[in-house]
Amino acid sequence: MPRLSYFYGIAIYIYWDDHNPPHYHATYGEHEAWIVIADASVLQGSLPRRALHLVRT
């Protein structure tokens, strides 16, 4: 997997051939969310509130 970043137990992945809209995958423990790059909205999945805040900032 092409991991871009890892901080506070949160891993960020991005895939060059993934579907639209452009997004990245954030994983934290057993949680995973797809975050849209343009507006930081959650496309699919979920993260705990604190992890989601860290991913969006």
CB 37 within 8 A of CB 25: no
Specify if 53 maps to a domain. Answer: no
H or E, element range at 56: helix 49-56
* Domain count across the chain: 1
Specify if 21 maps to a domain. Answer: yes
Instruction: Please compute the mean of the pLDDT values over residues 21-33 and round it to a whole number.
Output: 97
Rounded Cα–Cα distance for residues 33 and 5 (Å):
15
Specify if 1 maps to a domain. Answer: yes
Instruction: Please compute the mean of the pLDDT values over residues 26-48 and round it to a whole number.
Output: 97
Specify if 54 maps to a domain. Answer: no
Specify if 20 maps to a domain. Answer: yes
- Please give the pLDDT value at position 18: 87
Specify if 52 maps to a domain. Answer: no
**Is the model's pLDDT at 16 over the cut of 90?**
no
Determine the structural domain holding residue 17 and report its residue range. 1-38
- Please give the pLDDT value at position 1: 63
